[in-house]
Amino acid sequence: MKIHYITIEGIESKGKLKLSDKGNTKVKPGDLVIWDIDPDQGIVKVNNIQKDETSTNVFSMGPLKIKNSTAWLGVINPNISEAEEDYTIEYTAKDKDYSFDPKIQVNP
């Protein structure tokens, strides 16, 4: 099991998030994924992280907000084979809500 830390580093044009993994996370079954905000980059909070409606769910748990923090945690399904999930990060920046759509790719 590996832990994948994705730092939300800031906001680019038109609400596109700047992510430490460039918006394409490569994981293996059973891995953990943790998203967190780089402080002082204009992002107030992450409101939700969820799979896109037409995408495969690669998580067995979460993504869920970690209590008393700005971080979110998801556990990749240990029984999933090769798959790809498009998901949405909904967030607030400077009193306005945005959403951004990165990917998670599971390789056996």
Q: What is the per-residue pLDDT for 2?
A: 97
Whole-prediction pTM = 0.93
- Which pLDDT does position 5 carry in this prediction? 97
Domains of the chain: 3-93 (2.60.40.420)
For the chain, how many helices (H) and strands (E)? 0, 10
Residue 12, pLDDT score:
87
pLDDT of residue 94: 82
The single residue listed with the structure tokens 């790719």 is 105
- The residue count for the chain: 108
Tokens describing residue 31: 């891995």
Compute how many other C-beta atoms are within 10 angstroms of the C-beta atom of residue 56. 14
Say which residue the tokens 């730092």 belong to: 7
Enumerate residue ranges in the chain where pLDDT < 50.
none
